[in-house]
Amino acid sequence: MVSENLTSALNKQIEMEGYASFLYLSMSCWCEHKGLKGCAAFLRRQSEEENMHMLKIIDYMLDVDAIPVIPQVNQPPVRFDSIVSLMHSVYEHEKKVTRSIHQLVDLCTKEDNSDTFNFLQWYVIEQREEEALMRSILDKIKLIGDGPQSLYYIDKEVETINAQQVAKATTN
Domains delineated in the chain = 4-171 (1.20.1260.10)
Closest CA to 102 of 4, 2, 16: 16
pLDDT at 11: 98
Closest CA to 59 of 107, 130, 122: 122
Q: Spell 88-118 as b/e; 16+ CB within 10 A means b.
A: bbbbebbeebbebbeebbebbeeeebeebbe
Exposed/middle/buried for residue 80 (C-beta within 10 Å: 0-12, 13-18, 19+)? middle
pLDDT band at 146 (very low <50, low <70, confident <90, very high): confident
pLDDT at 171: 85
Distances in Å between the Cα of 39 and the Cα atoms of 8, 49, 83 are 34, 15, 9
Q: What does DSSP assign to residue 78?
A: S
Q: Spell 139-150 as b/e; 16+ CB within 10 A means b.
A: ebbeebeeeeeb
pLDDT band at 168 (very low <50, low <70, confident <90, very high): confident
Q: What is the pTM of this model?
A: 0.93
In the predicted model, what is the mean pLDDT of the chain?
Answer: 95
Q: Which of 26-30, 143-147, 168-172 has the highest mean pLDDT?
A: 26-30
Give the integer Cα–Cα distance in Å for 115 and 135.
Answer: 31
Whether 66 and 7 have beta carbons less than 8 Å apart is answered as yes
Q: Could you read off the pLDDT of 85-120 as tens digits, one per residue? A: 999 999 999 999 999 999 999 999 999 999 999 999
In the predicted structure, residue 169 carries a pLDDT above the cut 90: no
Q: Could you read off the pLDDT of 1-59 as tens digits, one per residue? A: 899 999 999 999 999 999 999 999 999 999 999 999 999 999 999 999 999 999 999 99
Give the integer Cα–Cα distance in Å for 169 and 5.
Answer: 34
Spatial CB neighbours of 168, under 8 Å, sequence gap ≥ 6? none
